[in-house]
Amino acid sequence: MENQEQEQPEDLAQLIARLKDQYKVSDSEIARRIGVAPATVNAWVHRKRGGTRGPNKEKLRALAREFPKFTEAQIFAAAGRKTPGPLDPDARERILALIGELTADQQEMTEIQIRALVERNRSSAS
């Protein structure tokens, strides 16, 4: 009988272990380079969430920037998050201009919808 178990995706703790090995850095060095407390990185390494959802997108992007052998896509996937799309200044301006054409009620509804999408992305990588 064939083994049909699927390989589990790498989680953030496993990715950080590989990162530490490849870059020969400690939790403290990672923390310093991405602007968090060493205890925060330690919590990620030991899979402790402490009531939070794990690292925010800025910290995940900082990991990719400071340790470029790991892509944003890899890091976000390991954290169980979808990778946010790029938003260049032109796109930001176009989106804001469109929102500016909506009524106050429509703007409020659009904000609620966007917040719901962001929350969904934070809570699920699927």
- C-alpha to C-alpha distance for 43 and 53, rounded to whole angstroms: 12
pLDDT score of 63: 96
Q: How far is Cα 60 from Cα 68, in angstroms, rounded to an integer?
A: 12
Q: How far apart are CA 8 and CA 51, in angstroms?
A: 24
pLDDT attached to residue 75: 95
pLDDT tens-digit profile, the chain (126 residues):
445 445 678 999 999 999 999 999 999 999 999 999 999 999 999 988 654 567 888 999 999 999 999 999 999 999 988 888 888 899 999 999 999 999 999 999 999 999 998 888 777 644
pLDDT at position 25 is: 97
Per DSSP, the three-state class of 79 is: coil
What local confidence, expressed as pLDDT, does residue 65 receive? 96
User: In angstroms, rounded to a whole number, what is the distance separating the alpha carbons of residues 26 and 17?
Assistant: 10
Question: Half-sphere exposure of residue 44, counting CA atoms within 13 Å on the CB side?
Answer: 29
Residues 40, 59: Cα–Cα separation, whole Å: 11
Reduced to 3 states (helix: H, G, I; strand: E, B; else coil), residue 51 is coil
